[in-house]
Structure 1
Amino acid sequence: MEISKIEEKIRIETFEEMEELTQTLRKIQKEYPQEEYALEHLYKKYQTFVKPGMEQKERFSMLIRAAVELTTQEAPKWEMIAARLLMLEFNRELEENRKKCQIHSFYENLKYLTEQGLYGAYILETYSEEEVKRLSEFLDESRNDLFNYSGLSLLLGRYVIRTGKGVPMESPQEMFLGIAMHLAMKEKVERERWVRRFYDMLSELKVTMATPTLSNARKPYHQLSSCFIDTVPDSLDGIYRSIDNFAKVSKFGGGMGMYFGKVRASGSAIRGFEGAAGGVIRWIRLANDTAVAVDQLGVRQGAVAVYLDVWHRDLPEFLNLRTNNGDDRMKAHDVFPAVCYPDYFWQQARDHIEGDWYLMCPHEILTVKGYALEDCFGEEWTEKYLDCVQDKRIQKRVIPIKDVIRMIIRSAVETGTPFTFNRDLVNRANPNRHKGMIYCSNLCTEIAQNMSAIDQVEQRIETVDGETVVVTVTKPGEFVVCNLASLSLGRLNLEDDAEVLEVTESVVRALDNVIDLNFFPVPYAKINNEKYRPVGLGVSGYHHMLAKRGIAWESEEHLAFAERVFSKIHYAAVKASCKIAKEKGSYAYFEGSTWQTGDYFRERGLTDDAWRKLQEEVAEYGLRNGYLMAVAPTSSTSIIAGTTAGLDPVMNRYFLEEKKNGLMPRVAPDLSMDTYWYYKNAHHIDQTWSVRACGVRQRHIDQAQSMNLYITNEYTFRKVLNLYLLAWEEGVKTIYYIRSRSLEVEECEVCSS
């Protein structure tokens, strides 16, 4: 085939000797024959950037930039073309680097990276040279064509392995294969088959692992988990231990949820001295400073959500932590406040909003009544709360319910927080309520697992190797850690039950393996992870899924489709976990759980023949994972997958993102005349449809969902309150940010999956 004049011009002016460029340009013309993607447009745009005297590498970068800036709503596929050119440039650099190091194969590259301390030695200790060579045959470079420019540039910039000087030594496909090899390491039967399945789900962008897994799998420090949750006890040692735990988690890239509901309020007694306690705010400020001081692998600031009950006496100050009013000494702008609500609060807000609400100190209640109010939920909590209200020995801070709600909404509109945790809904749906309580969620509000505080038993002096040492003995409590991944709904054939079953089985298996492969920053996390073996299977590309099928967000069709899709995923996840249990055994607390008794299925109305049969299988063979599904936000990983983030509607169909090298166009996935009108801007969507959809999905998610609400200046106090009430009535367990149109909130990449 003859080289066209335009191909020749582009090649001569960029990489004249690069035959791959000609092949790539021809492939682009074949795949995108429409006039708006003609190479003449690329060449003309390129000429506006190129300057005399530019080096060859810089000229090629201008060619890539030209493709990027041609990306518009009318011609969105230029972002795919730009990715092809970027991949070409990257491969050329990678080849040159490998030639210098005399690397000629995947195995030789692994050996080199291991020697350089960039790859974990455990990979080559597990896989023989022959195995690695066979596995390298799985590599499919054609899958690089699935990336758009934004996703590929993010992946190349942040996730592929580079030397200390920033020299790339790993391709995207090798990255996916390396992660797959790590996740399959401990498979004793058909290990190569599982490597293939894990590689396929990742490289086809049908599944994204959480950011820590994507970053750290195959590396020496393999901290693979996203989310940690600690219960802060009401003691000096306990509080500082929790802060220390947060520092260690943050050091290795994890995000944290901290429950402060047990810490005594300001003005309470300490060792009988009235008014001595400084309250929770001073301790939260300590967590705030730790978040700033201990960053996540030097990449970004530490991240922590702090939870407090709506009846805690320090609530008003807590709600002002991030706002711009009040005393700066009571501020903590780098934490994310979240409030835990019982049913009774929302009942009163709905039915008696002119009534009073009583704020009390948990320590005083424990001292006077002999029980911890926060240790119960539902009707028992309501009875005890009302009993405390009547007890004159307990100090009360009385505030009209309307004023409490006004403080919450004012903070939400101004800062996006507090997050919402509906504790009674969460605990009633807890499949492991036979073993404990859930007090709060994590940084991104999707994890809901049993929690309890770490308890120091004693410190004793011993002699070890002739030296006197102090040994601290602690009970590990239940320190929550969860491992996340997301099904990319925009890329899965959801109408094909077999594909949904197969991909879900693969990702549940991979997540279960993470538990045994993980490096834990604190020992308490390891103990709890092995007891419950929790995983958090979520989704991304929700809006992408709807738009591709021509389903309007604000429609009953949306709710019906969400029910069908999440029922399939739910069924597939339970079946996969049961299958692993049959092979490897159940999690330690399976006996007595609602999984085992069957109440889990009955409470959710999962009673048709297929579900009934699955219930019987679970009762007979058990379940490998005590917690299965949790839908996290997927900011960075959804960009890599070329899909929409988590459960969110898009903010814009098309926008320009400012980067250090210029503006980067961002386009809704698969944007076309067919999908255009189904990508309605999040702030233009009636939020009641988002809340109702969340309620529909919640039936099929044993943990929670990271769901945002999008409001505009037209929202009144009553309108926002009605969204909170509707969420509670629909069974929505948590709400993440309230995103006001004028407000920019910080995306969480820690939990990104």
Structure 2
Amino acid sequence: METLASPDQTSVSVTAPQALRVIKRTGDVVPFDAGKIAVAMSKAFIAVEGDNAATSSRVRDFVKESSDAILNTFARRMPDGGTIHIEDVQDQVELALMRSGEQKVARAYVLYREEHARAREDSGIQKPHPTLNVTGIDGNRRPLDLGRVETLVFDACEGLEHVDPNRIVQDSLKNLYDGVTIDGVSQALMMTARTLVEKDPNYTYVTARLLQDNLRREALSFLGIAEDATYGDMAELYKPAFLAYIERGIEFEQLDPQLADFDLQRLADALDHSRDNQFTYLGLQTLYDRYFLHRDDVRYELPQVMFMRVAMGLALNEEDREGRAIEFYELLSSFDYMSSTPTLFNAGTLRSQLSSCYLTTVPDDLDQIYSAIRDNAMLSKWAGGLGNDWTPVRALGSWIKGTNGKSQGVVPFLKVVNDTAVAVNQGGKRKGAVCAYLETWHLDVEEFLDLRKNTGDDRRRTHDMNTANWVPDLFMKRVFDDGEWTLFSPSTCPDLHDLYGVAFEKRYSEYEEMTRNGQLKLFKRLKARDLWRKMLSMLFETGHPWITFKDPCNIRSPQSHAGVVHSSNLCTEITLNTSVDEIAVCNLGSINLAQHVVDGKLDGDKLKKSVRTAVRMLDNVIDINYYAVPQAKNSNFKHRPVGLGIMGFQDALYAQGIAYASDEAVVFADESMELVSYHAIEASSDLAAERGRYESFEGSLWSQGVLPIDSIEKLKAERGEQYIEVDTSQTQDWDRIRNKVREQGMRNSNVMAIAPTATISNICGVTQSIEPTYQNLFVKSNLSGEFTVVNAFMVNDLKERGLWDEVMINDLKYYDGSVQPIDRIPEDLKARYATAFEVEPKWLVEAASRRQKWIDQAQSLNLYIQGVSGKKLDVTYRMAWFRGLKTTYYLRALGATSVEKSTVNRGKLNAVSNGSAPEAAPAPTTEPSKPEPRGIEDFLTGKGGQRPPSASEIDELGCEACQ
């Protein structure tokens, strides 16, 4: 029994739980003193009602009843005793006052708590814990410094709305034990904060800032700067940390010794520690796990130091190295632009392999085939994504002169390529990745389509590599016109490989005639639509081969005078010439479009500045880059291609209040890409004036004053007007750019390509590339772990309308992040926050078509299709070709039954799926062949029964090899 002292000193007896203890804010653990509940309540009444409250029977009765209720609450929670935090006790007092209707008293009590919390925060006094000890890095134990814990948490919450630092401290203390390590304290704080991310997206920034404590302690102690440091300390400590880092990195033979030749003091002064606060938890953890330099598994690189290291690495050959390094650092550390992953990995290091993509052509010669596979291994070792053109290799059944035997075709070699990609995994940083391309007329194409199947002879299957169809326009015309298609071996039709457009059509028809008069024996004839159906079926069933289009890639290529584009790359955005002597190389980086929407509109001046600096950085990569094979160096120095892309497109739409599935979004895709194109082409031309034109400039489309927007007319002429429909409107003064390019030339043969940005968009905390939002609330899994991701734009809009609460959170979990089934969400928000599978694929294609007219290369375009049928696939991919796209990327197909939830059991709401891999589903069916209309709207509205495939989940996949 405990005796409660009521205000009039009348004893009130209540039963207190046995062995109940309280953790005070100092960390002290003391026996539960029930009398303090009555004292606290009495003081609250006296503060509002004056001294008379001390003798009031009403107050006395209330204190007794409330105290009994609070103690009973803890008794029910912990009948065998336990430990509670002082804040839990005060929460119960506050709740009792509010439930009783004593609003004024409750308000006074809340203000009292807040006032004292501020006073504790302002005091900054160290608060050693007398009973909880922490094990330091040196192994010694010392009392837990609660003052520092609170400083860390309050710093982490600084400037963020709707976050509660006290809750993080209190909940974390409950998970600590005597002797916990310093890292254990940090982990407890982070784990507490990350569990609150679904309540409010700002907790992801809190978690990231708490992770910074681990980073700082690990790096600073290793560099001998300090054992630990707060966020505020870093304003001074970043400078000595940077200087020590450069010295140690060179000593460890990890950094390029040339970095020591910079004015390091000047660069150190430019470091901005406040930019550490921009990271989301996912972004910072990704950097820590996979990007920061380490020695003996200790990361000694800090975020701003990493960005400066990359900037220095890209400025090595600049005349004003320090000035350019600071300019590059500003762009990277602000997240206005981000270099690709290989550049972030390796810039400023001894092995500066900075390029993202390599494209090769594999000759029809055994020695050169294995030489090409060796090249794959060497290129993949240093973090490059690979695209292989396998069309020249003779087909199954072809005669081999040297042995007088018959070829086994392309497939057995692809099995070797697959296993090589698995074996060479880029130093454990991420999987090796390669994509094999084959033209649609190749006699092995049907077996090529089956490579990713889970059934059949496993010796003729490639479960790990990617595959893509390289589709000529003539094939698509035959599909439209319900014509026949003939398959050939390149050993008997070798020139088809290098032909495209009208020239290809003419020669292909001649070969077909040769099959009819008996001159060609090795061929196969079939209905074009039958092969098209199988292509779509395999794409749906296995996710491969992707569908890419040979003719627009070549006809619109600025470098058509210098060779042929035989394939794209791993992620289908690069369209560069390849040959036996040239391995095409591309260097990637992406403008963060969301960072350039200011006050609800695109800031053209800021975009221009970012684009110009980005193009300079990309051009520098070419000269600094390490080339694993000589053919790559030869090609890159001759043509100097770069690929500037964009990311955060969906975020930019949110910032303007625009729904993805809208005409406004299509217009924004058009106008934003036009501006990027305008400034990128001008930047490359100005670099040519400063540094010289690229070697193969003469004869290019650039030299003829033909810009990407102009090359659409070439495609129309070659393909035929009836097979293409592309908007060609424009808003900028393109004549000025044409004249400048003619006079000054271009520094780079190719300037733009939109890559997937799977990892660098995580670093910047924005949506990938040009993708719509995957889900508004989900758990993302990658090599760094699992991360709750919440659409902050959606949460803010729901808060403004008073709709963000626990019920809404649970509904979003149940509906897999979709707002569509939730009745109380207004229609305008449902449209704005439609997720990837809720956006009709025609909007993705329309927006991509508007971008493609401005891009000299291509874009990684994922297509999301819900309720898949053969008809829907047919319509979507024909539309992609009809709208002038050069390539498509992954098909994300989702069966209708996997997203329909007609009833809700409010008592048992489901958690968000963590995204399992897609299951194999039956091949889609299509309607019987019939004449097809050529108007695109007829394709879109064509009638056809949909048979949804079996239910399947889809993971949020992303290409991490390019970016």
TM-score (normalizing by structure 1): 0.90
C-alpha deviations, 1:538-577, integer Å up to 9, x for none? 1111111111211111100001111111111001101111
Instruction: Give the one of 575, 582, 593 matched to 1:478.
Output: 582
Give the % identical residues: 34
Instruction: Give the one of 602, 609, 632 matched to 2:710.
Output: 602
2:39 is matched with none
1:356 and 2:484 are equivalent in the alignment: yes
Tell me how far 1:307 sits from its aligned partner. 0.4
1:434 and 2:645 are equivalent in the alignment: no
| Inter-CA distance 331–574: structure 2 relative to 1 (3 Å threshold) | same
| Inter-CA distance 101–152: structure 2 relative to 1 (3 Å threshold) | closer
Q: Distance in 2 between matches of 1:53 and 1:273?
A: 74
| Inter-CA distance 182–606: structure 2 relative to 1 (3 Å threshold) | farther
Instruction: Give the one of 124, 129, 147 matched to 2:279.
Output: 147
Q: Distance in 2 between matches of 1:573 and 1:429?
A: 18
What code does the residue aligned with 2:960 have? E
Instruction: Give the one of 119, 125, 131 matched to 1:2.
Output: 119
- Structure 1, 236-245 or 270-279: larger mean CA deviation: 270-279
Instruction: Give the one of 154, 162, 175 matched to 2:294.
Output: 162
1:459 is matched with none
| Inter-CA distance 132–606: structure 2 relative to 1 (3 Å threshold) | farther
1:133 and 2:261 are equivalent in the alignment: no
1:252 and 2:382 are equivalent in the alignment: yes
| Inter-CA distance 42–100: structure 2 relative to 1 (3 Å threshold) | closer
Q: Which has the higher contact order (CA 8 A, sep 6+)?
A: 1
Give the unaligned 5+ runs of structure 2: 1-117, 135-142, 228-238, 713-727, 799-828, 895-951
Q: Distance in 1 between matches of 2:797 and 2:729?
A: 36
Q: Distance in 2 between matches of 1:109 and 1:418?
A: 46
Instruction: Give the one of 515, 535, 544 matched to 2:622.
Output: 515
1:707 and 2:861 are equivalent in the alignment: yes
Instruction: Give the one of 863, 880, 892 matched to 1:727.
Output: 880
1:687 and 2:849 are equivalent in the alignment: no
Partner of 1:31, secondary structure, is coil
1:556 is matched with 663
Instruction: Give the one of 390, 403, 408 matched to 1:278.
Output: 408
| Inter-CA distance 701–18: structure 2 relative to 1 (3 Å threshold) | farther
Q: Distance in 2 between matches of 1:497 and 1:265?
A: 52
- 5 Å-filtered alignment, 1:1-400, equals 2-4=119-121, 16-17=144-145, 21-34=149-162, 37-47=163-173, 49-72=175-198, 74-99=199-224, 104-124=240-260, 126-127=261-262, 131-163=263-295, 165-188=296-319, 190-271=320-401, 276-352=406-482, 355-366=483-494, 372-392=495-515, 393-394=519-520, 395-400=522-527
1:749 is matched with 960
- Structure 1, 103-112 or 341-350: larger mean CA deviation: 103-112
1:639 and 2:726 are equivalent in the alignment: no
Q: Distance in 2 between matches of 1:658 and 1:291?
A: 22
What code does the residue aligned with 2:224 have? K
Partner of 1:265, secondary structure, is coil
1:496 is matched with 603
Q: Distance in 2 between matches of 1:9 and 1:317?
A: 71
What code does the residue aligned with 1:119 have? L
Tell me how far 1:56 sits from its aligned partner. 3.6
Tell me how far 1:311 sits from its aligned partner. 0.8
- Structure 1, 514-523 or 46-55: larger mean CA deviation: 46-55
| Inter-CA distance 682–583: structure 2 relative to 1 (3 Å threshold) | same
Decide whether the 8 Å contact of 1:226 with 1:254 is kept in 2.
Answer: yes
Q: Distance in 2 between matches of 1:727 and 1:661?
A: 35
What code does the residue aligned with 2:584 have? V
Q: Distance in 1 between matches of 2:384 and 2:284?
A: 24
Tell me the matched-pair count: 712
Tell me how far 1:359 sits from its aligned partner. 0.8
Give the unaligned 5+ runs of structure 1: 367-371, 454-476
Q: Distance in 1 between matches of 2:486 and 2:128?
A: 74
Partner of 1:443, secondary structure, is coil
Q: Distance in 2 between matches of 1:45 and 1:19?
A: 16
What code does the residue aligned with 1:167 have? V
Q: Distance in 1 between matches of 2:960 and 2:395?
A: 32
Q: Distance in 2 between matches of 1:250 and 1:261?
A: 21
1:470 is matched with none
| Inter-CA distance 29–629: structure 2 relative to 1 (3 Å threshold) | closer
Q: Distance in 1 between matches of 2:699 and 2:792?
A: 45
Decide whether the 8 Å contact of 2:418 with 2:464 is kept in 1.
Answer: yes
C-alpha deviations, 1:508-532, integer Å up to 9, x for none? 0000000000001111101100011
| Inter-CA distance 186–29: structure 2 relative to 1 (3 Å threshold) | closer
Tell me how far 1:33 sits from its aligned partner. 4.2
Q: Distance in 2 between matches of 1:158 and 1:660?
A: 9
Tell me how far 1:313 sits from its aligned partner. 0.3
Tell me how far 1:25 sits from its aligned partner. 3.8
Tell me how far 1:698 sits from its aligned partner. 0.2
Partner of 1:674, secondary structure, is helix
Q: Distance in 2 between matches of 1:480 and 1:725?
A: 29
Q: Distance in 2 between matches of 1:213 and 1:178?
A: 11
Decide whether the 8 Å contact of 2:650 with 2:770 is kept in 1.
Answer: yes
Partner of 1:502, secondary structure, is helix
Q: Distance in 1 between matches of 2:325 and 2:627?
A: 23
| Inter-CA distance 145–59: structure 2 relative to 1 (3 Å threshold) | same
Decide whether the 8 Å contact of 1:710 with 1:738 is kept in 2.
Answer: yes
Tell me how far 1:659 sits from its aligned partner. 7.3
- Structure 1, 397-406 or 376-385: larger mean CA deviation: 397-406
Partner of 2:243, secondary structure, is helix
C-alpha deviations, 1:696-737, integer Å up to 9, x for none? 00011110000111123x211111011110000111110111
- 5 Å-filtered alignment, 1:566-645, equals 566-600=673-707, 602-603=710-711, 610-645=733-768
Decide whether the 8 Å contact of 1:67 with 1:78 is kept in 2.
Answer: yes
C-alpha deviations, 1:161-200, integer Å up to 9, x for none? 111x211212110110111011011011x33221111001
Instruction: Give the one of 890, 893, 909 matched to 1:740.
Output: 893
C-alpha deviations, 1:219-249, integer Å up to 9, x for none? 1111111100100111112211111110111
Q: Distance in 2 between matches of 1:357 and 1:231?
A: 25
Tell me how far 1:53 sits from its aligned partner. 4.5
Tell me how far 1:325 sits from its aligned partner. 2.7
- What CA RMSD, in Å, does the superposition of the two structures yield over aligned residues? 2.5
Tell me how far 1:342 sits from its aligned partner. 1.0
Decide whether the 8 Å contact of 1:313 with 1:360 is kept in 2.
Answer: yes
- Structure 1, 154-163 or 624-633: larger mean CA deviation: 154-163
Decide whether the 8 Å contact of 2:470 with 2:567 is kept in 1.
Answer: yes
What code does the residue aligned with 1:186 have? N
Decide whether the 8 Å contact of 1:544 with 1:644 is kept in 2.
Answer: yes
Q: Distance in 1 between matches of 2:793 and 2:128?
A: 29
Decide whether the 8 Å contact of 1:630 with 1:705 is kept in 2.
Answer: yes
Tell me how far 1:405 sits from its aligned partner. 1.8
C-alpha deviations, 1:431-454, integer Å up to 9, x for none? 11111111110011010011112x
What code does the residue aligned with 2:858 have? A
Partner of 1:218, secondary structure, is coil
Decide whether the 8 Å contact of 1:444 with 1:748 is kept in 2.
Answer: yes
2:114 is matched with none
What code does the residue aligned with 2:169 have? Y
| Inter-CA distance 599–22: structure 2 relative to 1 (3 Å threshold) | same
Q: Distance in 1 between matches of 2:243 and 2:437?
A: 48
- Structure 1, 396-405 or 714-723: larger mean CA deviation: 396-405
Q: Distance in 1 between matches of 2:730 and 2:284?
A: 44
Q: Distance in 2 between matches of 1:705 and 1:613?
A: 26
Partner of 1:563, secondary structure, is helix
1:414 and 2:541 are equivalent in the alignment: yes
